[in-house]
Structures are given as C-alpha cells and as structure tokens.
Amino acid sequence: MATRLQFENSCEIGAFSKLTNAYCLTAIGGSENFYSAFEAELADVIPVVKTSIGGTRLVGFLSVGNKNGLLLPHTTTDQELQHLRNSLPDQVVVQRIEEKLSALGNCIACNDHVALAHTDLDKETEELLADVLGVEVFRQTVAGNVLSGSYCALSNRGGLVHPHTSIEDLDELSTLLQVPLVAGTVNRGSEAIAAGMVVNDWTAFCGSDTTATELSVIDNVFMLRGDTRPGDGFDGMRKSLLDSYK
Amino acid sequence: MPRRPRRHQRLKSWPITFSPFGRALARMGSVSKPKRHSESIENHTPSSSNGFVKHPLDEKPEGSESSDGEFDGVVQADFAFFDPKPNDFHGVKTLLQTYLDVEEWDLSGFVDLILEQTTVGTVVKVEDDEDEGIFALATALNLSRYREQKCIIQLKDLFLAKASQEKGVADQLRVLLGEQAHNVGLLVSQRVVNLPPQLLPPLYDSLFNEVSWATEDEPTEELRNSFRFKHYVMLSKIYKHKNPEQKRKRSDDSEEAIVYVKPEDEIFHKLSSWSFCFPLRTQQPAPHEMKNYRSMGLIMAVEADKIPTFRQELGSLINES
C-alpha cells in the first residue's frame, strides 16, 4: 500500500529520498515526520539512513542504487561516503564516480536487473553500472526526454512512466525492462514521476498531493496490494516466467 | 519557478470581455493604452477564462521586435488577468510555497480554497503561454466563511502564536480572527519578484472591484454579506535594518529602516490599524546591498474604509517610480 507524505511542504519526496530493496536514504532537515514515516514502514526490514550528498539534501536526484550497490556523484564528500559505507549493509557496494552528468538519479532509473540511462552517459559510467549494480544498461529516452531517471519510477515488479509516453514506446520499454509498465502521473498531474515518488518491491511513498486515482494506479502497477512481503519468492519465479535474450 | 515571458508581438486589438473586470475597463474611458516606452514592458490586456472576446477597438500593431539572436535585456510580454481555475493549482502552490515560512500546513487545501473562489480572486499569466505559468495572485478570503477548513485553522493558530509576544496587538488579532471574523478578509497577494510594478494598480483595482461586485452579484444573502469586509488582515515579508539606532547618526538616509519586498506594503503599513513583525526561521543568504538587514514577517490589519486611499496612493507611487 502506498503512503503519502511530504518534506517541508514539498511533495517532491523523490528528490529527498532513495528507496531500494536493501536500504533507504533520506535527507536531513525538515521535521522528523519525514524520517519517521519511512522508519514506521521499513525499520524492521531495511536500514533507513539519514544523509546529505555534496552538502545538499537532494539525495534522490543525485544518487542511483539498488540492492547490490549505490553510486554517488563526484560532489560527494569523503565524510558522506564514509558515513554511507558504515551505515549500509556490507553487500551493498558504495562507490563515488566521475561523471559529468552528476545528477545520477535524474539520469538513470534502475531496479535490481535493468537500468534505463541518459543517452549521453559516459561509457565508463555504463560499465560501472553493470559492475557495481549488476544491471543491464539500456540507453533510452522516455517520452522523448533524455532524463530517463526523472520520468520513470521502476521496481522489480512494475514501472510508472511519463504520461505522454506512446503505446509503441511503452511496449518497447516493457520488453526491454521485462516488467509491466503504465503511463501515469503523480502529485496531482505532475509529470516528473521519480521526483514525486519512491518505490521498492513491497512499498511505495508518494507526495501528499497524489490523488486517490493516482495512488490506485501505483498500487496496481507495482503490485503493492498488501498481500506481498519482502522477498516472497517472485525473484525466483522470474527467470522461469520471463524470457531474456542474450 | 514560472517561465520568463517570451518575446512576442503585442496583440493587435483590445479584447473586452464579459467578466466584471472587463466591465470595469469598459467603464473606465481613460484606460491607459499600452505605451511602448524604452523598457518595453507592456500593460495588461484583460481577458476571461470563458473565452469571450470582442474587438471594439483597433490598435496600431507593433511590428518591431528586438533583433534576433541578441538579448539586449528587453523582454516583451503581454500579461492577462484571469479568474482562478483548478488548472492553476501547481502555479499558485509554487507562489504560496513560502507563505508561512517553513511551517508544515495544509498548503494544498489553501490553494484549493483560493481556486474555488472564482468570484473574487485574480491570477496573472502571460497571454498564449502554453506553460500557463502563474506570475501573480491576489485574492481575499473571508475568515468566517472558511473557518472550518483545516488550513484556515492552522493559519489562525500560527498568526496568534506569532502575536503572542506582542501584548496589545495579540488581543486585537484574536478579536479579528474570532468574533469579528465574518467581517474580516485575509488578503493574499503573492507574485514573482520581477513582476513589472505597472501591473500593481490594475491588479489591486480588479481585486477590490470584484469584492464590491460580489456584494451585489453573489446568489445568496450570506455570500453577499461575506464580502462586506470591514477589515483586511495580511501577512507579508519585509527586511528590517539590523541596527536601527545607527541610522540616526547618519544624516543621509541611503539605508532605510525597513525595506518592503512588495511596494504596496509600505502604503498598507502606513494605513494599518495595527501591525507587528516577527523573525522568520529561514534566513536566506542576502545579496550585498541587503547585508545589514534581516528578513521578518509582517502581519497587519487595514480597515476597509482606507482602501480607496490605498488605491490612490498606490497609483501615484507607481507613476512616480
């Protein structure tokens, strides 16, 4: 079931948080309500870590990660890097990368298996994505926008993309990503999907302006209907249910 | 942040519509024709959201534009005044983001309230702008009519909390927000910082005219009465000089004691029945000229009788600047 919340009167919670299957990052500042909302849902299962990146609160826009690793921009300070390495589980590889497109969260959308990347991403970064995050990288635009990270929210079960994505693009992306995709909005008609929500395999958080319709679309496409638990074996079935061509 | 107005040619004709604001301009024979002066900021053209347009007047079309490829600092823009529409939600919310500083409150509910009140309230947009960016907003909300709304309750509590330091004023504020609330309007006026000041007199004229028309045009007696405001309460931002005593030593008043972010606030402050300041929690890094000032919130109440004086003084203030 998706939860609605806000960060200091802003509904762009995807800017201030990062959610994966193995950890959750939140920004510092604002009231404790933001952090507590995440804690309430996730505390028993995965660590919720308060951090800044490069001294800013935009942890969602600047970083990209999944259960295997976390990539940070070159603006990340040494203290922040150390703090994250200490706080996250050992199997999560935390790495700072040199990439001129430093808002990694805006440029790359990923789940535990595939990633959609900005078309101008460095070759090196693409290789690091494949190595550290263990994903197959596809350079793709979403509804004509190069910032694939901003306009697409992805989990292992489904994805929500920019509302103006055409049917052909939806089919193509769905085949590439091997998950069901839906074109929709968040935060009462906002097209910047990833800015307005964060999602993992069993829960999602959306900005408080999100309407009930948008919330039900999110619940449907990400299969959050409440009868699922973390790691309930879908990953195991995945290989037998979906073909992938190498 | 709303997009900057793009350069484009001025409208050929002067559309006049059936909105109350349009009526006002039709009545005002001496409506200022948009002049092309060296700053090239065009005046408003009125239009309404229901799309009725008549073309009784013909204007000489302005054909010239700044040379392509060179930005010489002059931008042409036609601003239009509209009634609030549900579509304006995101733009209005952006303008009101910092209205109550960093307090967490039902901002979305407040914006919805403003947008539902189409009889009184004006938003300023640029003609033919697909982005529909909102550049300014002015409205007046009756505090008693909306007293059940969560956002208004939170707002009242916040105002009273800020006033608790100022003994005399707190009681007057409490009365205005409580027993006399049916006569009190919350005046909300927010805009982008670089909005041309020439738009202010028409903006406030349209607001106060709409208020007086609402007292006649609203369908029910209760609604008509709700717009017979006796007082207006408003919240604004000002910059106060950090060391006011120093000023007396210097004979040159190059540094004012108070700098008003919105020019009309100076007039409101002068005409107010009472007012008080409180420090704001966010202190933004100030530009060099403002390093001696700190930003404060200002809450004041103005009697509705003083409004005609205000309109007059605003007109002369804008004309001389």
Residue of chain B with shortest Cα separation from A187: B90
Cβ-based contacts of A10 with chain B (< 8 Å): 97
Q: pLDDT tens-digit profile of A192-205?
A: 999 999 999 999 99
Smallest Cα distance from B180 to chain A, Å: 30
CB contact under 8 A, B104 and A31: yes
Cβ-based contacts of A31 with chain B (< 8 Å): 104
Residue of chain B with shortest Cα separation from A208: B108
Interface test with B, best of A6, A9, A36 (most B CBs within 10 A): A9
Interface membership of B107 toward A (CB under 8 Å): yes
Cβ-based contacts of A35 with chain B (< 8 Å): none
pLDDT at B128 over 90: no
CB contact under 8 A, B107 and A9: yes
Cβ-based contacts of A209 with chain B (< 8 Å): 108
Q: pLDDT tens-digit profile of A178-224?
A: 999 999 999 999 999 999 999 999 999 999 999 999 999 999 999 99
pLDDT at B21 over 80: no
CB contact under 8 A, A9 and B105: yes
Q: Are A219 and A3 in contact (CB under 8 A)?
A: no
- The average pLDDT across A83-97 equals 95
Residue of chain B with shortest Cα separation from A190: B90
CB contact under 8 A, A188 and B89: yes
* CA atoms in the 13 A half-sphere facing the CB of A67: 16
Which residues partner with B235 through β-bridges?
Answer: B299
Q: pLDDT tens-digit profile of A130-163?
A: 999 999 999 999 999 999 999 999 999 999 999 9
